[in-house]
Amino acid sequence: MKGVIFNLLEKVVSDEFGPDVWDDLIEASGASGAYTSLGNYDDAEIEALVAAASRKLGLSRADILHWFGVKAIPILRQLYPALFDGHQTSRDFVLSVNEIIHPEVLKLYPQAACPFFHMQRRDGETVELNYESRRDLIDLAHGFIDGAASVYGDRVSVEHGVPTEEGRVESLTVRWQT
C-alpha cells in the first residue's frame, strides 16, 4: 500500500478527531506510524489501523473504510487538482478511473497496485462496477464515489452486490440522480 493512503488516513482522522486519536490508533494497531507518500507499506498495516479505528469508534470495518473514502476525496482534490480537472460531474470522474485517474496515479506512484473496475453501463445514469483487486477495499471505493459526488454536488446511490462465498463484495451498482 502506498504511503499516500496512510498520509490521507492520518489527515482525516486528525482533522475529525484530533491528533491524539491518530496516536492512539498507531499504538493500538502496532503500526509504524511513519509514512512517506512514495513509500510502500504492507497491506497488513492499513488493515491493523482500520481494525483499531473500528474498535475505538465502535464502527464496522466497512463503515470506517467508507468514511475514510468520503473524507479523503476533498483532500485528494486539493493535493492533485489535475486528477479532477476536466470532469464536470462525479459520474464523469468515476467513469474515468481506469483510463485517466489510475494511469495518473501510476505516474506519481509507479509501484501502486490500483484496483481495476470493469464497468457496465445499464442505462444513462446507472453503472455496475465490478471490483478487481487483491485487496478487499470495495467499501473504500464506495466512499470515494460518495466523496466525489459531494465534491461535484451530485446525488448518487450505491448498492453493494451479493457477497461471494468468501464473504467479499465485488460489485457496486451506482445510480446518479438528476
Please tell me the predicted confidence (pLDDT) of residue 109: 74
Radius of gyration (C-alpha) of the chain in whole angstroms: 16
Judge if 95 and 169 occupy the same domain.
Answer: yes
Please tell me the predicted confidence (pLDDT) of residue 63: 97
Judge if 87 and 171 occupy the same domain.
Answer: yes
Please tell me the predicted confidence (pLDDT) of residue 174: 96
Prediction pTM value: 0.90
SS3 breakdown of the chain: % helix, strand, coil, rounded to 5?
Answer: 55, 15, 30
Residue 71 lies in a domain: no
Q: Report how far residue 52's alpha carbon sits from residue 58's, in angstroms, rounded to the nearest whole number.
A: 10
Residue 129 lies in a domain: yes
Judge if 97 and 173 occupy the same domain.
Answer: yes
pLDDT in tens, the chain (178 residues): 888 899 999 999 999 999 999 999 999 999 998 999 888 898 999 999 999 999 999 999 999 999 999 999 999 999 989 889 889 999 999 988 878 777 877 787 777 778 888 898 878 789 999 988 888 899 999 999 999 999 999 999 999 988 777 777 789 999 999 7
Judge if 170 and 82 occupy the same domain.
Answer: yes
Judge if 36 and 123 occupy the same domain.
Answer: no
- Spatial CA neighbour of 133 closest among 93, 159, 170: 170
Judge if 31 and 112 occupy the same domain.
Answer: no
In the chain, the largest separation of any two C-alpha atoms, in whole Å, equals: 47
Residue 85 lies in a domain: yes
Judge if 159 and 95 occupy the same domain.
Answer: yes
Judge if 168 and 119 occupy the same domain.
Answer: yes
Judge if 94 and 125 occupy the same domain.
Answer: yes
Judge if 38 and 82 occupy the same domain.
Answer: no
Domain count, the chain: 2
Judge if 24 and 89 occupy the same domain.
Answer: no
Judge if 100 and 16 occupy the same domain.
Answer: no
Please tell me the predicted confidence (pLDDT) of residue 152: 96
Residue 40 lies in a domain: yes
Please tell me the predicted confidence (pLDDT) of residue 111: 75
Q: Which three cell numbers stand for residue 143?
A: 466512499
Residue 46 domain boundaries = 3-58
Residue 96 lies in a domain: yes
